[in-house]
Structure 1
């Protein structure tokens, strides 16, 4: 039987996953809101569908991946396809929902894991938590929830901003963030597809939560550029969205992806990840 993945919101992380799966014989359909993204989706090994617009068919689909962002109104996939997905729940071998570690809220720098009760403080975290609950409420659906830390990877690193001179080191005492390289997201998702465990939640992050200024400083060092100026958080001009990230401070554990899925991170910390980005982005 051919594995067929229907990927809703086939963006940055999903395209890296499809580049892993397509050479192994997977059939992949990826939705996008923007027809201009169709060529990029094809390059990742998936067949594009512009949706909303063309209604995706669930016929023959064995795996679902949901990357679409929720809104105050709820999850956009379920808003249109809830009845059909519910009726076909037993058809799927695996369903993955990409959520965020923002659902844990603020823990003043303490460690959290998958057993930590969600307590989101930011709007985006509350919306994600409600979407998780919407998907989990569908009977018999083989749902797996992946709570992602801050994503980086090729084309999404600090190097271009450093060269333009647009980065600052915003200093907030005791603040740390967890992050994850997009290639490691893809390998976690594939490992889960190979070893499904419906109802499971996984944190997807690297081994080393660190202050954001450490990452920017190391990136500058790798490029031989001056250290960007330090700005106290209280004096920094930030958008409401950017400021909301600093209102949550936690260290996220990733033991479960290692112990249950056997994942060995390709980029276990930001230093290894940035060094690889230097090469992939043609900066070495």
Structure 2
């Protein structure tokens, strides 16, 4: 039985845990900062560890790990996992090492296309933190001759996370910013990309997104139609009442290519565009 340790068993890593445990040849251990989340982690089929806290448990899990996934976001202090466990991870030499990053490392491209060969140029603080973390993991891998896979995730949606909940709760805002376009990815497609990389081995940088970048207002309008709910009135971005966090999501506009995950990992997306993804969610 193969072993996966994931630092930060959140939304995306939990989807991978469910996929691997269903296959029957993997055991998954995942860390969480919140002891109250331990029961939720058990429901994914994974074994929870509290970290920061249970360093002995993490160390034991590292000793037996065939694959290690880093799914903890960096902050202004840097990447907590790299700082606390980087040397230890290098010492155990996992067969596969993965880091969940974000397409925000590409910055604002004015709606133009980017791929994995595009030089990152983050324009937000979170994007700068992400790129610094990528560089830190790459430096560790280079020093120790480790294979490393970096996954640049587009905007994530899926069960419990998407436009339907906001529409039903009356919190959805139809914000219109001319020229704004985002790439997205269903969480189940994230899981299958990660699993394909684990099976494939080796190293690489991978954009994880669907085939159809789209303006956010188009996605919300489609969701409202599918749910049979009123389409919220359009609001201009410049005058909309948005939190600083919400407003920051509109700071960058780009279209992200995903050819590499198809060509090199053999991935066929379950939900190649937001329409397919939303139809599946409303069906659930």
Q: TM-score, normalised by structure 1?
A: 0.95
Alignment correspondent of 2:53: 53
Q: State the shift of 1:10 in Å.
A: 0.4
* Aligned 1:13-162 pairs, distance under 5 A: 13-23=12-22, 24-55=24-55, 56-57=58-59, 58-88=62-92, 91-138=93-140, 139-162=144-167
Distance 2:157 2:246 in 1: 16
- Distance (whole Å) between structure 1 residues aligned to residue 82 and residue 107 of structure 2: 25
SS in 1 for 2:30: strand
Deviations 1:94-144 (A, max 9, x none): 001000000000110000000000000111100000001111111212110
The answer to whether structure 1 residue 196 and structure 2 residue 201 are counterparts is yes
Distance (Å, rounded) in 2 between the aligned partners of 1:261 and 1:252: 17
Q: 2: distance between equivalents of 1:240 and 1:186?
A: 30
Q: Who is 1:4 aligned against?
A: 3
Q: Which residue of 1 aligns with 2:172?
A: 167
Matched length: 276
Q: TM-score, normalised by structure 2?
A: 0.95
CA distance in structure 1 between the aligned counterparts of 2:86 and 2:182, rounded to whole angstroms: 34
The CA distance in 2 between the partners of 1:82 and 1:222, in whole Å, is: 46
Q: Aligned equivalents of 2:226 and 2:188: distance in 1?
A: 21
Unpaired runs of 5+ residues, structure 1, are none
Quote the Cα distance in structure 1 between the aligned partners of 2:81 and 2:227.
Answer: 42
Q: Distance in 2 between matches of 1:191 and 1:272?
A: 21
CA deviation after TM superposition for structure 1 residue 84, in Å: 1.3
Q: Which has the higher helix share?
A: 2
Q: For residues 163-194 of structure 1, give each alpha carbon's deviation from its aligned partner in whole angstroms, at most 9, with x where no partner exists.
A: 22211110000100000000000000000001
Counterpart CA distance in 1 for 2:117 and 2:14 is 30
Deviation at 1:81, TM superposition (A): 1.2
Deviation of 1:272 after TM superposition, in Å, equals 0.5
Partner of 1:260: 264
- Secondary structure of the residue that 1:137 maps to in structure 2? helix
Question: What is the CA distance between 1:151 and its match in structure 2?
Answer: 0.3
Q: CA offset at residue 227 of structure 1?
A: 1.2
Q: Distance in 1 between matches of 2:147 and 2:16?
A: 19
Q: Which runs of 4+ in 1 moved over 6 A?
A: none
Compare 131-140 and 102-111 and name the one that shifted more: 131-140
